[in-house]
Amino acid sequence: MVYLVSNMAMYNLKERGTYNVLSKLGIIVMLLSLSITTKAQSPSRHIDSLKTELSKVSTDSLRLRLLFQLSEEYQYLDFVQAKSLIDEATTLSEKLNLNWAKLEAYKQQSYLSTIRGDFLTALKFDKARFPIALATNDSANIASSNNYLGNDYINLGEYDEAYYYFTESFRISRAIKDSLQTAIALHNVGTVFKELGQYDIALDHIELSRKLSNQINDIDGQAYTYYEIGDIYLRSKKYDESEQALLKALSITRERDINILEPDIISRMARLYLRQGQFDIANKYYDSAELLHTKTQNEYGLAESILGKGRVALKQKKFDDAANQILESLNISKRINARTLEIECYRTLSQLYEEREDYKSALAYTKQSKALQDSLFSQDMVQKIFQNQLRLQTENKDLQIAALNETQAKQANELNRQSFLKNILVVVVALTAILLFTVYRSGQRRIRINKLLIEHQNEIKKRSLELEQLNQVKDKFFSVISHDLRSPINALSGILDLMSKNQITSEELPKVTKELQLQFNHTKNLINNLLDWALLQMDKLKIQPVKIDLRSMVDDNFELLDSLHLKEVTLTNKIEEDTSAYGDLNMINLVFRNLILNGMKFTEQGGEITIGADIHDEELTVWVRDNGVGISPEIQKILFEKTSGYSTRGTANEKGTGLGLILCKEFVERNGGRIWLESEEGKGSTFFFTVSKFHEPVFA
């Protein structure tokens, strides 16, 4: 079913739900009775209002518009009345020679003919509409006219012509950025490939159409998409996928009242169950499709449904019933010139007589089918050859006229012309060479400039990102400073005030002094880290690599931190004697101090911190291990990020600055190393960092 657009007033047949094998027959009968009852008992007030306006109208223009509206209102309620109204509108528009009215009249005539299955008549009106659309220079109208012509040709089985008009509609609608017409054209191109058996290509086009329809919220397009996908799966013998797609199409179609599509979906459902051997369900679906086609007097649809029922009878070995139904379908097909359907009738009759073992009759019908198919192909070939030949003759005549004029001009002024042409040629060649060289140089210069601009833009983006990160870090650190410096200073002020008033007893003084010492140790670490960070950000810290005795450096830090009596934690140095690194002494010392303090902070009283180093070819891997509370995987991911500044209370409620590990990462990387950690909650953490190995200088 080709996707068309029309402003139709459609009858209401909304019945959605999930189908299963046990309930399908009952549901189909219920739907048929509901459809008939609904349509018989739903008089349209809108139609009555339009008819009243029509009886009072005084101008031809308004009368035409009312006739168009009424015809659309009636097209699925009373086809004869809809046809009568549009015939009157067509006669009036042709009499008045109003192009806008003729465009609308021919379009509705074509649509009614398509509903009825009279595709030759539809083609006649679409051909009459096409030159009028071209004359209007309205691209949207031209694209729509191409689409309607393609629809007629695909229904007549002339797929090359259909493809041409659908692709023309696609080019025009895409050029004017008409997304709906573009989606329709893509969908319809997909139907051509489907009929040619190119299912993968068909699905590609339909999928592109579906995406575009979703972007513009074209819900009707979804019904057509699911229908085409279901038909492709049916032809590919993927019956489960076909059923799912067709049921989705049927649900949307009834919800949206797309009445021109509904009988085609039902017909495909019937064919699906026929192929699966569910003959009773197939017959009910064919009956439903036949009923809908009867309402619109669609002879093509009726012939297709009758042929389907004949195929069901053939599968059930009811040869007489099958023969009668197939012959009835054949007669209708011949009368309406439905040649593709006529071929299907001949093929089915051949199968019938083959089942009856009447091979002579079977062969005769096979020959008729083949002859008609070859006839269609031959007509198409002749038409194409004629068109190509006519085009070639026209081109040859143009060339002959041009050659004759050129000869006469040469005879009249040969010498002067020859000389002039030579001079012009020399000038043109010279100018061309200069132009090409200039363009080449300009192009090369432009390429270089573009590269520089891109590099500059990337650098600006990089700097902007760094500045943004630094601003975030700055804001966080200022927040830390404002809070963490205020607390110990306020504590000192309070204690001094109490001491000056003799309000602290000698028993309380050691406890207060210890708390104050903890506050100032934290403040000292904060200030040291902040100063180091500030120098780092101002790029004032210069790397001065020297030989570093790692074991001695760790012992010094253990002695210093142990003297502060921060927490009863065992400190173990496992770095071997004479283990030397090459790096900046102050930076590496700060890394050790921060990692040891970090371990002490998150280790319980009586815990242990161990430091060791593994020796490799060109570098040392130093590790600082504690058996403390550990770090969760989520926190591990952000621990070294500048913008994080993550900090939490230690096991003895110690505060942190959020700066220590960030500085460790900066200093390790400044010395050409890497830093990372391994940790498990409840079992402790191990921090690793690498530093260059010291090599004694070799003197010749």
Per the listing, tokens 């498990």 go with: 680
pLDDT band at 64 (very low <50, low <70, confident <90, very high): very high
**Is 548:675 a contact under the CB 8 Å cutoff?**
no
Residue 123: what pLDDT? 92
Closest CA to 608 of 569, 658, 560: 569
**Is 592:553 a contact under the CB 8 Å cutoff?**
yes
Residue 682: what pLDDT? 87
Residue 381: what pLDDT? 40
Query: H helices of 356-501, where?
Result: 359-484, 486-500
Q: Which domain covers residue 682, as residue numbers?
A: 542-692
Is 628 inside a domain boundary? Answer: yes
Coil vs helix vs strand at 687: strand
pLDDT tens column, 594-613: 999 888 888 888 899 999 99
Instruction: Over range 12-23, report the average pLDDT.
Output: 31
Report the first-to-last Cα separation within the chain, whole angstroms.
92
Is 533 inside a domain boundary? Answer: no
Return the percent helix, strand and coil in the chain, to nearest 5: 70, 5, 20
Q: How far apart are CA 653 and CA 15, in angstroms?
A: 68
Is 679 inside a domain boundary? Answer: yes
Residue 609: what pLDDT? 94
Instruction: Over range 467-471, report the average pLDDT.
Output: 69
Is 67 inside a domain boundary? Answer: no
**Is 71:82 a contact under the CB 8 Å cutoff?**
yes
For the cut 70, the answer to whether the pLDDT of residue 649 exceeds it is no
Greater confidence (410 vs 144) lies with 144
Which residues are CB-neighbours of 282 under 8 A, at least 6 positions away?
270, 271, 272, 273, 274, 308, 312
Residue 643: what pLDDT? 60
Phi-psi category of 400—alpha, beta or left, where left has phi over 0 and alpha has psi -120 to 50? alpha
pLDDT tens column, 673-685: 999 999 998 889 9
Q: Averaging pLDDT over each range in 192-196, 313-317, 440-444, 468-472, which range is the top one?
A: 313-317
Assign residue 681 the CATH number of its domain. 3.30.565.10
Per-residue b or e along 558-595, where b marks 16 or more CB atoms closer than 10 Å to that residue's CB: beebeeeebbebebebebeeebbbbbbeebbbbbbbbb
Residue 198: what pLDDT? 87
Residue 699: what pLDDT? 47
pLDDT tens column, 240-282: 999 999 999 999 999 988 888 889 899 999 999 999 999 999 9
Greater confidence (384 vs 464) lies with 464
Is 570 inside a domain boundary? Answer: yes
Closest CA to 684 of 625, 639, 638: 625
pLDDT tens column, 71-126: 888 887 888 888 899 999 999 999 999 999 999 999 999 988 888 778 888 899 99
Residue 285: what pLDDT? 92
Q: How far is CA 650 from the centre of its chain?
A: 50
- Give 554-563 contacts, CB < 8 A, sequence gap 24+: 554/592, 554/611, 557/589, 557/592, 557/593, 557/596, 558/596, 560/593, 561/593, 561/596, 561/597, 561/600
For the cut 90, the answer to whether the pLDDT of residue 384 exceeds it is no
For the cut 60, the answer to whether the pLDDT of residue 644 exceeds it is no
Is 558 inside a domain boundary? Answer: yes
Residue 461: what pLDDT? 82
Instruction: Over range 200-208, report the average pLDDT.
Output: 90
For the cut 50, the answer to whether the pLDDT of residue 11 exceeds it is no
Greater confidence (464 vs 682) lies with 682
pLDDT band at 473 (very low <50, low <70, confident <90, very high): low
Phi-psi category of 641—alpha, beta or left, where left has phi over 0 and alpha has psi -120 to 50? beta
Q: How far is CA 125 from the centre of its chain?
A: 38
Which residues are CB-neighbours of 295 under 8 A, at least 6 positions away?
39, 76, 79
Q: How far apart are CA 429 and CA 390, in angstroms?
A: 39
Instruction: Over range 560-578, report the average pLDDT.
Output: 83
pLDDT band at 391 (very low <50, low <70, confident <90, very high): very low
For the cut 60, the answer to whether the pLDDT of residue 387 exceeds it is no
Q: Mean pLDDT for the chain?
A: 80
The CA-based diameter of the chain, rounded to the nearest angstrom, is: 132
pLDDT band at 20 (very low <50, low <70, confident <90, very high): very low
Q: At what angle do helices 99-116 and 139-155 cross, to 10 degrees?
A: 20
Residue 6: what pLDDT? 46
Coil vs helix vs strand at 690: strand
- Give 31-38 contacts, CB < 8 A, sequence gap 24+: 31/288, 32/287, 32/288, 32/291, 35/291, 35/292, 36/291, 38/11, 38/12, 38/13
Coil vs helix vs strand at 512: helix
Is 41 inside a domain boundary? Answer: no
Per cent of the chain over pLDDT 90 is 26
Lowest mean pLDDT among 367-381, 448-462, 475-489, 560-574: 475-489
Q: How far apart are CA 119 and CA 385, in angstroms?
A: 25
Residue 669: what pLDDT? 92
The 3-state secondary structure of 113-140 reads HHHHCCHHHHHHHHHHHHHHHHHHCCHH
Instruction: Over range 632-647, report the average pLDDT.
Output: 74
Is 582 inside a domain boundary? Answer: yes
**Is 260:114 a contact under the CB 8 Å cutoff?**
yes
Residue 12: what pLDDT? 29
Closest CA to 194 of 184, 204, 181: 204
Closest CA to 199 of 228, 167, 170, 242: 228
Rg of the chain (C-alpha set): 44
Instruction: Report the number of distinct structural domains present in the chain.
Output: 1
For the cut 80, the answer to whether the pLDDT of residue 592 exceeds it is yes
Residue 620: what pLDDT? 94
Amino acid at 343: I
For the cut 80, the answer to whether the pLDDT of residue 509 exceeds it is no
Per-residue b or e along 294-326, where b marks 16 or more CB atoms closer than 10 Å to that residue's CB: ebbbbbbbbbbbbbbbbbbbbbeeeeeebbebb
Residue 4: what pLDDT? 64
pLDDT band at 536 (very low <50, low <70, confident <90, very high): low
Closest CA to 645 of 483, 499, 508: 483
Residue 489: what pLDDT? 73
Residue 576: what pLDDT? 92
Which residues are CB-neighbours of 640 under 8 A, at least 6 positions away?
661, 662, 664, 665, 675
